Amino acid sequence: MEKNPYQVPPNFFEKQKAEILSVVSQSPQKKTSVFSLKKMGLVSIAASLAAAVFVLSPWITNSAPPCITYSCLLESIELDDLSESDELLIEEWEDDAFEEEFGVYLF
Amino acid sequence: MMMKKKGLANFTFSGFSSDEVLLNALSSSNNTIRNDAFNALLETLHQPIYFHLRRILGNHEDAADATQNTFIKVHTSLNTFRFEAKFSSWIFSIATRQGIDLIRKRRNEEVEFEDHVTHLESDVYFDGDHATALLHAAVLTLPEKQRTVFVLKYFEDLDYKSISECTGTSTGALKASFHHAKEKIKPLLNSNVL
């Protein structure tokens, strides 16, 4: 049996034991919590998936992408839904007047 | 200091009849019960864990840090112990992991065998003759896995089953690692380092 050549500073074990017991008595035993790292990860993934589904839902439910520009909104309005005077207005409006009225520049 | 060698299965915790009883006390919400249990745990395993890490790491500072981290990790991870191994084996496996992590952190600071010998012989907390310094310096030159297996087998005198529980490695691989470690150590013990 080999003699252990390693020594420690005086009272090392007593001091370290006191430090460890101090940490153990201060910090409560780890409990399973909704805020545990693993659960937070799962919650984040679930939240991201829910957000993605919400954002993509118009693409999922309709074949066409949702309107996010003014011109798209205009195009999406069925002419049948407009009154005759509205149709006339759209046809008669010059590009310059349209741009001035709505601040939208046509190219 | 003379350390009595023990197999991992032979560790007993004063005042606690079994691992289960100790685990219940360690998990108690009552501070006094929990502290008494942790005190018993430290009484039994503090020194074995420290010297295990000292042999793997070679210096007091690293061994002290890794020992403290080991017991704090034990405290915070008690709910992950599944009674698949002895409680003491589980704690040794945590300590071994802490030791390996430190070896990996020090990997960039490659130290030659001769420097390990010089460092050990000038260490005020090393009380061995030249031959002992050569042996421990040779151990410190081994790769982490071989070093761990050699320390557990040669110094801690554990059987391969206990080492397997500590390291999560098959006994066949452990035997091969121990053999390679011995082959690397032998020529260093015969070297002429002054």
Q: Identify the top-confidence range among A6-10, A71-75, B32-36.
A: A6-10
Top pLDDT among A74 and B183 is at B183
Q: What is the pLDDT along chain B (194 residues), one digit of tens a residue?
A: 444 445 565 688 888 888 889 988 988 888 889 889 999 999 999 999 999 999 999 999 999 999 999 999 999 999 888 888 889 889 999 999 999 999 988 876 778 899 999 999 999 999 999 999 999 999 999 999 999 999 999 998 888 988 998 888 899 999 999 999 999 999 999 876 65
Nearest to A21 among B39, B47, B78 (CB): B39
Provide ipTM, 2 decimals. 0.84
Inter-chain CB proximity B79 and A30 less than 8 Å:
yes
What dotted CATH number matches B111-194? 1.10.10.10
Is B189 an interface residue toward A (CB < 8 Å)? no
Measured CA to CA, the distance from residue A64 to residue A59 in angstroms comes to 6
**Closest-CA distance of chain A to residue B165, Å:** 24
B17-109 matches B111-194 in fold: no
Specify the range with the lowest mean pLDDT, choosing from A17-31, A74-88, B112-126. Answer: A74-88
pLDDT tens by residue, A25-72 = 876 655 544 455 566 777 788 888 888 777 776 666 656 666 667 777
Which class for B27: exposed (0-12), middle (13-18), buried (19 or more C-beta within 10 A)?
Answer: middle
Instruction: Suggest the residue from A20, A23, A32 to mutate for an interface test with chain B (most B CBs closer than 10 A).
Output: A20
Nearest to A25 among B3, B31, B42 (CB): B31
Q: Is the pTM of this model over 0.90?
A: no
Nearest residue in chain B measured CA to CA from A19 = B68
CATH architecture group of domain B17-109:
Orthogonal Bundle (1.10)
Domain ranges of chain B: 17-109, 111-194
**Closest-CA distance of chain B to residue A33, Å:** 12
The whole-number pLDDT of residue B5 equals 44
Nearest to B75 among A4, A24, A32 (CB): A24
